[in-house]
Structure 1
């Protein structure tokens, strides 16, 4: 027996007709205002990158969640301290065009605005680090990749990524924190 014949026998004809549902908010201006936003909400990402069993990158937010050429975005990163760090590391941040068309922007910095060096971090703490990225005017990127990790400027050494299969990385202990969409004006 053909499937359509079987359906006709099992399901009443009144239930086989098409069903059209109108989406809410079509003509009410108040409902439309609730659906329109003036700014893309922050991007929030979870990560889990483990650096030498000493620091775990827990997650981050980027505000706003889309950046336009000439504008800045605020990045907040959260690190869980697993073991004491014997060296004062900088946090390196490489901002790159997702298509590789623009020159890399570096946003390397001391953690927590220089107020809390890594040698003072205590196991069990979650350290908040904030920094800004600025997209130059005239940039024609579709999206920006934010790569980051820990770097010791005197030895040029990086804290090594212990779980490269668990997070996006480039194989050189540089993790892809997030891809930020670029608004074209």
Structure 2
């Protein structure tokens, strides 16, 4: 099991990724059932970002919807598979202070906790990816921007956003998944 070093990640926010587990020979039927959903929760933030006509970021949920210093939130992103993917992409998550006062944290992780690689995704499925964000004590952030995208660690290339005019993005195939308000003391 590989975990990011928290001390190296601490700034105004800290991100704990889901436990990454290698699935020898691919995902088992049970692991696939855990990673695929038949319906996106109705109270989710809808998105619609299209990555190279292969994957659509359908929606996301953040529970709770507001975090406080020394507390965390569970984030779930829902990706609809449009076409088979030939590479095992990582999902990158960049957590940034919405006002730009703190250093960005980069946490790249394998989708679905490492249980269901993108080369096994099947068109028509909706894959859920879950991770936690934790705000350290004393953080002055008022809101956190969560940016996501797909990254190939072999080539250092990202899946390119096909519909940049339809979704909030930074022009570099990073899509705003959510802005999470921070409770002020």
When the two structures are superposed, what TM-score results if normalisation uses the length of structure 2?
0.76
Looking at structure 2, the residues matched to 77 and 100 of structure 1 have their Cα atoms a distance apart, in angstroms, of 24
1:145, CA displacement in angstroms? 0.3
1:154, CA displacement in angstroms? 1.5
Looking at structure 2, the residues matched to 165 and 77 of structure 1 have their Cα atoms a distance apart, in angstroms, of 21
RMSD of equivalent CA atoms: 0.9
1:62, CA displacement in angstroms? 0.2
Unpaired runs of 5+ residues, structure 1, are: 1-42
- CA deviation digits over 1:134-158, x for unaligned, max 9? 1122110110000000001121100
Looking at structure 2, the residues matched to 53 and 70 of structure 1 have their Cα atoms a distance apart, in angstroms, of 39
- 1:112-127 pair list within 5 angstroms: 112-127=112-127
Unpaired runs of 5+ residues, structure 2, are: 1-42
SS, match of residue 173 in structure 1:
coil
- CA deviation digits over 1:18-59, x for unaligned, max 9? xxxxxxxxxxxxxxxxxxxxxxxxx73000000000000000
Looking at structure 2, the residues matched to 65 and 132 of structure 1 have their Cα atoms a distance apart, in angstroms, of 13
1:80, CA displacement in angstroms? 0.4
Considering fraction of residues, name the structure with more strand.
2
| Structure 1: 4+ residue segments shifted above 6 A | none
Considering fraction of residues, name the structure with more helix.
1
SS, match of residue 62 in structure 1:
strand
* 1:167 and 2:133 matched: no
Looking at structure 2, the residues matched to 86 and 48 of structure 1 have their Cα atoms a distance apart, in angstroms, of 22
* Count, aligned residues: 143
1:68, CA displacement in angstroms? 0.7
Looking at structure 1, the residues matched to 136 and 161 of structure 2 have their Cα atoms a distance apart, in angstroms, of 31
SS, match of residue 113 in structure 1:
helix
When the two structures are superposed, what TM-score results if normalisation uses the length of structure 1?
0.76
Structure whose alpha-carbon radius of gyration is higher: 1
Bigger relative CO (Cα 8 Å, ≥ 6 apart): 2
Contact 1:107–1:133, Cα closer than 8 Å, also in 2: no
Number of the residue aligned with 1:87: 87
1:107, CA displacement in angstroms? 2.6
Number of the residue aligned with 1:54: 54
